[in-house]
Every structure is written in C-alpha cells, then in structure tokens.
Structure 1
C-alpha cells in the first residue's frame, strides 16, 4: 500500500511531529508499505529515506511565526502532488489548511485526519483561562469546531493518540474517531537503566544530598509547557522538603523559566539530550516525572517515563493524564500552581510505592495497528467503488 502523508508541520528542526514522521519512514517499509511524506520546504526536491521511504519537499514560503517551518501556499499544489503520487491512502497531519486541501482533493484514495495537536488546549484554553470555562471558550470559538466538522465528512478516519482527546473530539461532533496510542522506542526505556551515581551527581548539581527527592521534567520551553508554573510549585514544596528539579529542554520561553527560578540552587536546567540512551538513564535515575502541559495529545515523555519506572505528577487534562491514571500517578488541576504544589507535596511525603509494571507499548505496535487499520479502510473504499 502506498501512503502519502501531507505533513504541514514536518521540518528538519521540528519537534514531536518530526520524530514521529522519521519513525514512520522506517516502520512503514518494514511492514510492507511505501511511505511518502509531502512536506513544505525551501525547494522542490525528493529525499530518499531508504527503500520504500521518501520525503517529497514542496517549495513553500516560510511560516511567519516560527522560522523553522514553512507552509503549503495553496490547495492546488497539494492536489497536483497527490495526483502525481496516486496513493492508496492519504494522511492529513494538520487540521487546518492541509486538511481542507486533502478533503477537497478529487482522488479516490481513502484518507485520515491525524490529530497531532489539540486544536483548542494548546492556545485558546490557556489564553482565556480564568476568564471563561472551556465550554464557553468552545462556544465562542465555534468556528474551529465548525471547520473540523466540515472537513470531517471527507475523511474515513480521525486518528487520536489518547482516549481523553478522542472523547473531546467525539463530543464536539466529529465522527469516525479512533484512538491509536503511540508507544516508546523498543528496548530503550527501562527501570534497569537506573544509575545511582548519576542520580547523586544530579542532586549535587541541585545542591542537595543523595537522599533528597529528584524530580525531572523534559520538554521544550514554550508557553503551553508551563515550566514557570512547575518551578513555582517546586519552590513552594522545597521550603519544607529537600526537592531538586532537573529541567531538560530549550526554546523561546526559556528566559521566563530562568526568571521564575531566580537563582534557586535546587533547580537545574539542562540542554536537550540528543543521546536517547543518556535520556533513558536520566529518566530511570529520577524519582518522578513532573509535567505542566495539559495540551499534549499523547505525551511521549510521559510514556517514556512510565516505561522507565517513574511515577507521574501531571495536569488532569491531556494525554499525560491518561498515563498517570493508568499507572497510579498523581494529577493536579491544569494551570494551577497551588494544586501542582499540593500534588508534589503528596508525592514527597508519601511512602515510595513503585508504579504498577505494565506491558510496554512500542512504536512498532503503534504503526502495526495504525497501518493495518489504513489497509482495511483502503480495501473498503476500493470495494465500495
């Protein structure tokens, strides 16, 4: 089966979408499928990614709000490339302009809308929190849901990575929504990677003894990640308990996080860790993962931390909360630093209980299930034709 992913937010310096797409480029051919990624780039060119995998870059203008990305200029360009590729299945990996283009393409291939982002939680809910309820925000910004309901009719499937997002999409009137949870890299994240010497060094960087509590947070510094809120909560708890926090990541909001830390010696910032084995060692050597973003559709870092044997302390909305509830973690009210401090204090003062050991779902499982679902939908479309 030939699958074309119209991936509006794939870029060489991108984040989660780039990681996911790169894994799909490897997994698809191994499962017997041809994978083509249609992505906006500086010029028209093909980039081979091994046998049966290719990125087709489409000359496109820069995205004005983030210079790492470009955007598809018009639907006609996408239609022209889809006509040329003649796919069996088409994915739209963004719910906006590219979803509309895939929806209006006159080809007969089956198609899926992949929700790599929560259309409201990352921005609107955060911008207007404290001023209106999420139900009111949904109603006032009804054009977002109207757009999704309008394009939904052209798609055979809407792919969501978590049950919480699937429920919200279905409640908003979207049809044919299915949860396809992602997973972690096979054989990488495990409690067996715990390194007591590394743990002691990290606590020493936080000016704390080896018997203090070591929390870790991983993610880019962006407003929706809410690292200043997490810092505020950790500082509140550290007045009474020896708690250190290691934050791994970088981004445009780093300065705000640094200002909130305000020289606190118990909080230490690390640059992004490209070595995945080193990241797995760090996670397994901490006492818990703390996370502030309620807009995650799946939360890969929460899955990786769970596979590493860590308890989770996360917001009560979004993909990370699904992992926490399934594994006995702690949730706090989204966007509330006082409640985040309460959850942290509960963790620090409670007896240490190892999280329940569960089978680890890998990305191999994810792509196997997802692409098999695509195969059935493509067959059904052909039979109906």
Structure 2
C-alpha cells in the first residue's frame, strides 16, 4: 500500500499528533508499505526522512504566542503536485484543519480516498486562548473539513459523538496504542525518587504541554497536601507562569527516550486536569507504567479510566472532587497498588502494532468505499 501522510504537526514539535504519526510511519515501514510525509517546515529543524520515508517540508509560519507550533501556509496546488507525483492508494490526514483542508480538497481533485484522523478540539481551544466568539465558526469549519474525507476516525466515543452531533458523516473509531514494553512498572527508578522525594514524599505526576487548554494550574489545589510533591513534565508557552502559580512543584521540562518511562513509573499517582482531551495518550502511558490515573469525566479519559478500578474520574471543574480522589489513593497503599496493577492489565495488550493493523483495515475500508462511490456515479 502507498500512503501519503499529511500532518498539521511534525518533528521537532512533540505532541499527540506527532507521536501518532511517527508510530504509524514505523508500522508502515515494518510491514513493507510505502509512504511520504507532508508536514509544515520548521526553520530547517525538521528531519528530511523518517522511518526511511521522505518528509516534504511545506511553507509555514509560527503560531502567535506559541512559536514552536507551526501553521502551514502551503497553497493547494503545491499539495496537489506532491500527491500526484507520489500517487498514493490512500491519503492519511492527521488532525486536519488548515493545511489538512487544502490537502483534502487536493485529494478530491485527484480522486483519491482519504482517511481523516480527528485529534484536536481546536474550536474549544479558541475560548481558552481568548477568542470565544470564534468557537461556533470553527466548529462549522471542522464539519466542512471532515465532510471532504472518505472516512473520519475519532479517538474516543465522546469525540465520535461530538463530530456526529455537528453533522459529520462516516465517523469511525480508532484509538491509540501504547508501548507497554517501554512503559512498564519495572522502570520505577530509586534514583529518581531519591532526587525528587528526598523525604519520602508521594509523587503526583503530570505529563503534557504547558498550554492554557491543559489547565495545569488546577493542580494548585493539591499543593498543600502533606507529604506530597507534584512533578510536571513538559514544555509550552505557560511554563514561566505555571512556575509562579505552582512554586512547590518540580518542573522537569520535556523528557524523551528512557527518561520519560522512568519518570512515569516512579510516580505514585498521575493527574491530568485538561478537559479538552479527545484521547490523552499520557494517561495510557501512565497506566502501562502501573500508575493509577485521575482526570475529568470528559472526552477521551472516559474511555481510558475505569472508575474505582484503574483510577478516578471527577466532574469537570470539580477541583474539590479531584483533590478528594488524590487523597483517597495516596492514603491507601493497598488500593493504590491494586489500581495500578489493574491499569497496567487494561492497556498492556493495546500495542501500537495492534492499533496500526486496525488502521490499515480502515484504509482498506476507505479505498473500497471510494471505489463504490465512483461506481455509483451516473457517468
């Protein structure tokens, strides 16, 4: 199979969209498929190839207030030229919005089947970035973009319902895999705990971007819990501000390679306060590390956390409820250990190869659907 991957985000930007794209490319390579990547340029910092596949850098500009995030300014004709030259069997669009819309229009002109991966709740982000009046218009844009696709895949049941409710048709489900070898309870690191829990503190962890939509400042309600320390992993435009809001937390910045799984497995509890997660990969990684998780009962975490078994969900905005769940698990070693073991068991089979095989099945469905649509045309 020949797959053209068009992504709104790619290396060196590290986020959920990039992470998923990298795992898909690795799976395509490992199974003998061909691929090309169309991604925003990054001032010469993006790789020329990944997993053996060429990466085409498309013109882009930095997003105001978030310089590390690039927005492609590529005209449709240029995308059309690249797709035509590669001649893919299917076009994979990762979190299509701006460049993705133009890529979908280009694919339609070239009569190519397309699979759009919905991943980011951009319209609701607008309110968090001070533009609430733009939200209704952006939801219309999302609907119109995804209506161009042969098939849309949502990462969770909540996200799928959200898309269907705004009028998107042909919406399936495709979650995300987790590397249950890389993320493993055995990675718990005594040296990490000696460094960040010198007095035997319980470590409360967070991993993710430090941006407004992640609501990391909600963790302030945990600051006065005795015998605890909050460890925050990630980078983003709010880091300096959050260091002022959470002076007792430890900010470790971005962690990759072996450092991230060691840090996650060394946590006693994982809390992700963001309410706009369509999936939340860091929850899966914490679970694979044997760490109980706590998150708002909205979006992707609803599918990932089994309350009273692998962690707790709290009503969005109920920070007293979040705090109570944290106290509950930190105060009961046996319950916390049982929750952690159950969390690990719930996700260890959900590997990236398994999930990417399912994605290849969706590609085949989209190709078949596209052929059926062509066959039904009166000319």
Please give the range of the TM-score, normalised by the shorter of the 2 chains.
0.7 to 0.9
Cα drift, residue 186 of structure 1: 4.5
1:190-205 correspondence runs (5 A):
190-196=184-190, 198-204=192-198
Per-residue CA distance 1:72-126 (angstroms, 9 max, x = gap): 3322222222222221111222332223323322112110221121233434378
Partner of 1:378: 367
Report the secondary structure of 2:197's partner residue: helix
2:48 counterpart SS class: strand
Asked if the contact 1:294–1:320 (Cα under 8 Å) also holds between the matched residues in 2, the reply is: no
Partners of 1:12 and 1:273 lie apart in 2 by: 13
Alpha carbons 1:217, 1:246 under 8 Å: kept: yes
CA distance in 1, matches of 2:51, 2:184: 29
Report if aligned partners of 1:214, 1:245 keep a CA contact under 8 Å in 2. Answer: yes
Match of 2:334, SS state, is coil
2-structure distance, mates of 1:294, 1:278: 27
- Tell me if structure 2 keeps the 8 A contact 1:40–1:60: yes
Which of 166, 171, 176 does residue 165 from structure 2 map onto? 171
Any conservation in 2 of the 1:217–1:291 contact (CA below 8 Å)?
yes
The change in CA–CA distance for 1:313 and 1:148 in structure 2 (over 3 A counts) is: same
SS of the residue 1:352 aligns to: helix
Equivalent residues in 2 for 1:25-64, closer than 5 Å:
25-41=25-41, 47-51=48-52, 53-64=53-64
How many matched pairs? 361
Q: Structure 2 residue aligned with 1:258, among 227, 243, 253?
A: 243
Tell me how far 1:234 sits from its aligned partner. Answer: 0.9
Q: Is the CA contact (8 Å cut-off) linking 1:8 and 1:72 kept in structure 2?
A: no
Partner in structure 2 of residue 95 of structure 1: 96
Q: Which residue of 2 aligns with 1:307?
A: 288
Q: Secondary structure at the match of 1:224?
A: helix
Q: Say if 2:229 is the partner of 1:244.
A: yes
Q: 1:21 to 1:64 in 2, by over 3 A?
A: same
CA distance in 2, matches of 1:146, 1:359: 35
Q: Secondary structure at the match of 2:142?
A: helix
Cα deviation 1:272-307 (Å, max 9, x = unaligned): 2223x2322222222110111122222111001101
Q: Is the 8 A contact 1:31 1:368 kept in 2?
A: no
The match for 1:227 is: 216
Residue 17 of structure 1 aligns with which residue?
Answer: 17
Q: Deviations over 1:129-168 (max 9, x none)?
A: xxxxxxxx89x84323322333333212111112221122
Structure 2 unaligned blocks of 5 or more: 375-379
Partner residue, 1:143:
137
Of 261, 266, 271, the residue aligned with 1:280 is 261
Which of 321, 341, 349 matches 2:331? 349
Shift of 1:46: 9.2
Report what 1:84 is aligned to.
85
Is the 1:294–1:319 contact (alpha carbons within 8 Å) kept by the matching residues of 2?
no
Q: Structure 1 regions of 5+ residues with no counterpart?
A: 129-136
Scaled by the length of structure 1, the TM-score of the pair is 0.84
Matched-pair contact (CA < 8 Å) for 2:123–2:136: no
